[in-house]
Structure 1
Amino acid sequence: MATSDQRRPEIVVGLVATPPDYPAQVVARFTAELADLLAERVDADVRWTVRESWGEVAPRRDGGVEALLDDLADRRADARWDVAICLTDLPLHTERVPLVAQTSVRRAAAMVSLPALGLRQLRAVRAAVPDLVGRLLADAAEERVPPAGGAPMDGRVAAIHRMVGETDAGELRYVASRLIGRVRLVTGMVRANRPGRAFLGLSKLLVGAFGTAAFALATNTIWKLGDALGGLRLTAIMLLGLTALVAWLIIANDLWEKPDRETPAELARLFNLGTVLTLTLATAVSYLVLFAGTALAAALLIDTSVLEDTLQRPVDPTDYLMLAWIISSLATVGGAIGSGLEDEDTVRAAAYGYHPEPGGWRDEKDA
């Protein structure tokens, strides 16, 4: 069996993650199964070898996808791969619509923009990458590897709306739809930015908020205030508190991306949108945790008779929820003060344009 395998022609596919943060996690999960997928969907008579690699920590932004493919082609030539595929978390556009993937036969390289795939990115990568490899090899040497079988890639990958470019030259771009594609791109950016990491990283924010809530819970003036305010005002206070907290995190930690020679204005806007949405989701989850903890503490610590004596009327569980609501909203201010004690790198991890040094994602995987 070993002799038979050695007689089969070998094709080496390089799988590059750039930057080596979230894309590297996708590559690590996908590398082990790619060879089997290529044998199943491209050519079973070829001995497929998959090499895993990292790209730049801060990939070139000014040249867009062309610069990315040029860098990938250099990496492929240096490593002597037959084909190189890049997975990136950069949100890319072409003809004012999100770019999902692009192939370049003369470079023997292709790239996939993970955010453009939406939420189920690993499933879409499994569908897209074998087809990209098959198309590159088929266009470069039709007698060596036939085109990938089955449905075309725009039928396999829901994010792809249509294909544009020079088919004869092998320079093809797979683009999303204008409206749904933009929605999928934004949700994919939040997915790639890992809001759960931002939530866990803001632990001191919750500590500060719970400290403020504990103080407010023992103040009967707050009880009366919560009873006097209606649902509309409480909603406004909650939204103002969360908005102020997100704004404070962005300003205090310098998370706002500014356009410059390396970062076009459109890309900076997308980075900032991803940052705002990630922080909004993380702080909203923190607020829910704070609300649940405050409601539980109020039910355990404040006797019904004491609350009735203060409010001068009968109370029910709704009153405890209203009390937890106003206290949680006010405590977000204390959370903002606590967030100033966070490690800067921990908070900056929520910024979409920020990427830590290589190695951090491996630590997370090992943990």
Structure 2
Amino acid sequence: MSIAWCEAEIYGAFASSPGQSDKPPKHTITVRYEFVRQVWRDAEHLCEFLRSIPEGHGYDKLYDFWGDRTKLPSCFNKKEHVRNMFVAAITWVYFHELGHLMQEHGIIRDEFGPRGDKAKKTTEVHDCEVTQGKLINGREALVSHVTELAADFEATNFYVIELIRHCLNPDFADDHERPEVFSGLLYLMVCGLSLVFFRFNGNKPILPIAAVEGSHPNPLTRLELLIPQIFEKLDLDIFRTAAGYALDRKQLVLLCTKAAFSATLYWSVTHTENHEFDTRFLLHGIMSRPATLQYLQPIVVIWDEMLPKIRAVRRFGSPRGLMYFTDTARSRIKSVITWGSGPEASATATAPSPLDAATS
């Protein structure tokens, strides 16, 4: 596999493969300079914003929900805050592209995508960019969304393992420092990951929809799926024992959601028209969004259809990197309703999405 750089002023990266599973892979991950530059600037600006919040200000008091008003970990200095966010963000995007290549999503999109005149030969998987010229829908959009979510899942599995590996390096943290460094690094990693998706999303708040449209899932819906994957994996005893941290599930949830909130607060105050905190940007979790649960219904069906082929062509990696839906999640997704007297009655789940909000 090779890594290439592109000078086009587009925020993102993409994966390329000739799509021949029976031959040695010739994989390439192309990263755009503009993406790297913007990730660094976003990390700088987030840190500056958090440090600038006056003590006792309304924004400062919002952190009381998490039990303390500390907004950046004290175990790292100012430069390390930015550097760790930056490295975390570009690392996740690299892993996302690698996930596409590992699972040969070019082959998958060819086999499970549109048939006949609408069929396309796919050698490149472009990530997190606006669809050029038209809003794709139907089978093409569904297959694209599923492979994006599968690459997200694979990337996040690598992401957590890399966090553990990093913290176990004695040159990075000794046994005494490791618990605090782990918590600080996890916080900055989630901040960095959140910034990537807020940048992809732009200045519009979350608009959950049931329709599968465009080349990519809604960026903030993707983030709502990824953050639970992080704290659920870190709640496994095998990781807790290996890395030497004592955070229980509640503490992991609070730490990850606090980091995501910091990015949310920064983005809504600095990148929206009114320049004030907009609660519509808050992440709620997919189980509380009927529209998102409806959106996931065809996703689950086609993923089950694709999974045997993905297992057959997958190049390497732990089975834990393959996306899965628990029985509980499947039941909740299948049974969602938007009518009647329940809490979902007032939700609008089928409203079409505008082009600029659906694909980023």
TM interval, short-chain normalised: under 0.3
Higher relative contact order (CA 8 A, sep 6+): 2
Identify the structure with the greater strand proportion. Answer: 1
Larger radius of gyration: 1
TM norm structure 2? 0.26
